Amino acid sequence: MKTVGDLKAHADARLFADDFHAALHAYTALVRLQPVNLDARLRVADTLLALGEVQRSAVVYTALARHCSHAGYPGRALVALKILTALEPQLIALLADLAELYAVGSEKLGRSVRISPGDPAAELPEGLDMSAAPPIEQLIPVAEELAADVKAIAAYPENLPPIPLFSELPEDAFARVLEALKLVRTRPGDVLIKQGDVGQSFFVLARGTVLISRVDDDGKEHRLASLHDGSIFGEMALVSALPRSATVTSVTDCDLFEFDRAALAAAAEEVSTIASALDKFTRERLLNNLLATAALFRPLDRRQRFDLMRRFSAHDVAPGTLIIEEGEPGKGLYVVLSGEMDVSKVDGDEKVLLATLKPGDVFGEISLLNDSPTTASVTAATNATVMLLAREYFQRLIAAVEPIREYVENLGDERLMDTQIVMATDADGEIEELSEDDFILI
């Protein structure tokens, strides 16, 4: 072993093999070497609990929960609190202290700089011998005292970072929702979400790393992203009936909080508040991801995308809702956030389906560019959410960012060609020339 990371890997391996004596020895050494290593302190408590030392583990969990709450690590604080309240239910009141610090309206919330929890690449001191642990009866009280003593690292930031989604909740709702959350503890390789399954919950990653991957239609797996402490994933399960679009697998051992429909029912008094916060969070995340990845918005930098995001308005629509009616003036630029939209055009007495738009697709841009009425209709094919950028903001956008104007114009040319092909195919499958009036201008 050469680094702190190596020592942690050794400690984890001993813990996962149920060699609690050796694991406690290694985690205690980690705390001694890196007092700021909060995960090592948490693992000391976990190992003490595994050894049956309930009271000693509770002492460490309590000290760690209080320290992490004030140090800007609410996820780790909540992990300790959830374990602690399972051991001693009367301590559930401690959740109120966390809520006071992190709920909406807290004066402590703001931009924060936290103390680093330790560098895993730091080299171990020469001569460190982990081969022989002291007798367990000697090690246990030393481990408890060392892990529970936070005086040397009790330097707390003036402000605390908000918790995504949950810091949108008022204090009472915040505490009750935290009480309803389920703590999930995983090991490397555990699958949390499987692509294609029906979703019933979302997760908050308190500590650890997970991998997001997706299998395409050809059976090839694509690694999409790695998520770390503080990330939220799977939230679309509570705002849509769509199957999981990707698989989530633990890369490291992880602590997560699962919020499922049972938790939502348990917090029945806060349903409307939670639903509102979840809806706001989900829309902002989807739109932010869309602005960051869609070709249309690629020329914008991060600040410009954030400013643009505030200009969009969200609209939930049911299947069959008419978004754009053929022949009407264009109202603005639309972006499909979730669900699907059908684009159709009247040809004599028939309505011809031209295309189906999916999340990330834009529409309504051509009539704005040409200052002409729309010559196609757009209807919601499923429950969907569309974002609207009003005409005046769109005009400012294309005037200020030339690459966006060029992209929209090229997109319009492609759609005109696609419309010609679709509308001109007769019963024999032949193509006929269309007049300018037959072009699709959405």
At 313, is the secondary structure helix, strand, or coil? Answer: strand
> For residue 431, what pLDDT is reported?
33
Which position has the token pair 């308005």? 313
Structural tokens at position 338: 């979730």
Q: What distance in Å separates the CA atoms of residue 219 and residue 224, rounded to the nearest whole number?
A: 15
pTM over 0.85: no
pLDDT digits (tens, 9 = 90+) for 293-346: 666 677 777 777 777 777 888 888 999 999 999 889 888 889 888 889 999 988
At 231, is the secondary structure helix, strand, or coil? Answer: coil
Ranges under pLDDT 70 in the chain: 237-242, 262-279, 282, 285-286, 289-296, 398, 401-442
> For residue 375, what pLDDT is reported?
76
> For residue 408, what pLDDT is reported?
58
> For residue 309, what pLDDT is reported?
74
In whole angstroms, how far apart are CA 125 and each of 1, 2, 43, 122, 296? 10, 8, 21, 9, 53
> For residue 215, what pLDDT is reported?
87
| Mean pLDDT, the chain, integer | 82
Structural tokens at position 76: 């780790």
Instruction: Return the H-helix or E-strand segment holding 43.
Output: helix 38-50
> For residue 189, what pLDDT is reported?
95
∠ at Cα 256 (199, 97), nearest 5°? 120
The residue length of the chain stands at: 442
Q: Which amino acid is at 322?
A: L
**Sequence-distant (≥ 6) Cβ neighbours of residue 44 within 8 angstroms:** 24, 27, 28, 31, 60, 143, 144, 146, 147
> For residue 410, what pLDDT is reported?
62
First-residue to last-residue Cα distance in the chain: 64
> For residue 440, what pLDDT is reported?
28
pLDDT digits (tens, 9 = 90+) for 409-426: 665 555 555 555 444 554
Which position has the token pair 């992880």? 254
Instruction: Return the H-helix or E-strand segment holding 390.
Output: strand 384-390
